[in-house]
């Protein structure tokens, strides 16, 4: 995989520099270039596996980038990668470091939300850099959207798999400053892939707005905090893993009663991996029924099944930029670059 990433990165030419920002526009993170230094942080769960860290560094090198490991990446504090202040210090240091051009989370798990009060938002806002990760990193994506205002990228954590579709979409967004249309691939004649990659229209139509979201469980924990952005007119994307139908119902109820769902312009429910209750002869609501109960009454375009979430070969998806969804086609069209 690392050789394939390196070969692809070397083969693709980088575009010319972006035009200067218009007066009053929010600065965007710089696009990545081969040879750029990128920071590795562990904002959530711990790993003291030196061999895994070497593999992660190899993956980053295979992207044509130079890894710089945060001081506390291998620290352990209970089930976290260091204390809240230690993990926050690593993130703050990467945004203060002029050499570092982007920041990758090594792992998810749990703990990113605990960092938020300890982050140096003044320094982060003054140094826009792509933040890359998913799952628990949703807490950081949402807080950056609310407190920093520049785009981030929802993509695998550095220790996860980076397969062709993931890498291609990430390259387009982060290196080329492109605006791709993300559409599940044709599964061909394989019935298993057809089931796994099929999108389902919940309510048809097109809608555009700022793309915001991530892991549903993490998103729900941020309700009532200053770390959720304004969802008015947004395209909400959500995903999850290992949550039974009633828990998805509970979290969507929370988003609904908090007033978030009624403000969005459209919804993409990605993959919900292993989201079913493990009870023989279960006769409760199915996940599609739960989604319909919460999303159809909103009266906005919505679809499910996009390759976003805890699946191999997921899309890299920009957070905080404008996008258009076509719920009938199951597509997400990015309308503006995530990088400058």
Q: Is 10 exposed, middle or buried (0-12, 13-18, 19+ CB in 10 A)?
A: exposed
Give yes or no for a contact between 231 and 264, defined as CB atoms under 8 angstroms apart: yes
**Candidate list 107, 243, 310, 324, residue with the active-site label:** 310
- Quote the crossing angle between the two packed helices 287-295 and 245-257, to the nearest 10°: 10
| CA neighbor of 205 nearest in space, from 329, 78, 54, 321 | 329
* Backbone dihedral region for residue 133 (phi beyond 0: left; psi -120 to 50: alpha; all else: beta): left
245 is catalytic: no
Dihedral through CA 55, CA 57, CA 157, CA 95, nearest 10? 160
**Candidate list 72, 107, 239, 245, residue with the active-site label:** 239
Give yes or no for a contact between 170 and 155, defined as CB atoms under 8 angstroms apart: yes
239 is catalytic: yes
**Candidate list 107, 112, 135, 331, residue with the active-site label:** 135
CA 210 to chain centre: 14
Q: How far is CA 304 from CA 199, 268, 327, in A?
A: 6, 6, 8
243 is catalytic: no
Give the residue numbers annotated as catalytic, written as ranges: 135, 239, 310
């Amino acid at each position: 995989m690392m050789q394939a990433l390196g070969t692809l990165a070397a083969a693709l030419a980088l575009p010319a520099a972006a035009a200067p920002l218009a007066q009053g526009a929010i600065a965007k993170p710089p696009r990545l270039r081969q040879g750029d230094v990128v920071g590795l942080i562990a904002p959530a769960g711990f790993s003291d596996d030196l061999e895994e860290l070497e593999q992660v560094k190899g993956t980053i090198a295979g992207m044509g980038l130079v890894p710089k490991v945060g001081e506390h990446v291998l620290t352990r504090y209970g089930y976290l990668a260091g204390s809240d202040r230690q993990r926050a210090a690593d993130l703050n240091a990467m945004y203060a470091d002029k050499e570092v051009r982007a920041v990758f989370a090594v792992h998810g798990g749990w703990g990113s939300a605990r960092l938020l009060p300890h982050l140096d938002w003044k320094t982060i806002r003054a140094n826009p850099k792509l933040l890359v990760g998913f799952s628990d990193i949703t807490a950081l994506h949402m807080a950056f959207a609310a407190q920093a205002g520049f785009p981030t990228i929802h993509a695998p954590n550095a220790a996860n798999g980076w397969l062709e579709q993931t890498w291609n979409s990430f390259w387009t967004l982060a290196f080329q400053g492109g605006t791709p249309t993300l559409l599940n691939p044709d599964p061909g004649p394989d019935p298993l892939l057809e089931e796994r990659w099929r999108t389902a229209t919940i309510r048809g139509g097109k809608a555009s707005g700022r793309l915001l979201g991530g892991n549903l469980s993490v998103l729900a924990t941020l309700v009532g905090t200053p770390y959720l952005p304004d969802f008015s007119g947004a395209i909400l994307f959500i995903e999850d893993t290992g949550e039974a139908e009633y828990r998805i119902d509970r979290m969507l109820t929370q988003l609904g009663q908090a007033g978030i769902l009624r403000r969005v312009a459209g919804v993409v429910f990605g993959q919900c991996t292993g989201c079913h209750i493990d009870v023989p002869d279960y006769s409760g609501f199915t996940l599609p029924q739960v989604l319909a109960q919460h999303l159809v009454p909103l009266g906005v375009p919505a679809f499910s099944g996009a390759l976003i979430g805890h699946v191999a070969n997921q899309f890299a998806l920009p957070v905080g930029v404008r996008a258009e969804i076509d719920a009938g086609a199951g597509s997400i069209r990015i309308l503006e670059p995530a990088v400058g």
